[in-house]
Homo-oligomer: A and B are copies of this chain.
């Protein structure tokens, strides 16, 4: 953990891989993760928890089975637990995720996009 301020853009500058969340901070048993989104992710849901998206740079879309939510820098959204969603970013988008420690990025879907969930930035 940092002993000083955590600068989000500085942290993003240290990695370039898309769909590979990095833990940037912990609060109680919750984690703040930075992720670069690029292209279309897999449809998935998290059965046990809500998940927060906060867009730091760029723009993205959260697709749901019944709606589409565009998100730009300075905007956030709470995906309710159990709700299928698919993040899509035509251009690269930098987001901060907030969720309990141990959440896997692909939720119930698994597959090639599944990333380690214990890597710090």
Contact = CB atoms under 8 A, between A and B. Distances in A.
Interface in A49-66: 49-52, 56
Interface in A1-56: 1, 3-9, 24-28, 30, 32, 49-52, 56
A14 to B, nearest CB: 15
B28 A76 contact: no
B98 A8 contact: no
A22 to B, nearest CB: 14
Contact of A6 (B3, B6, B77, B98): B77
- For this complex, into which size category does the number of interface residues on chain A fall? 20 to 34
A100 interface: yes
A56 B69 CA distance: 22
A107 interface: no
A7 B49 contact: no
Given A6-B76, A7-B75, A30-B98, 19 more contacts: A1-B78, A4-B69, A5-B69, A5-B70, A5-B71, A5-B75, A5-B76, A6-B77, A8-B76, A25-B52, A25-B78, A27-B78, A27-B98, A28-B49, A28-B81, A28-B100, A30-B30, A32-B52, A32-B76
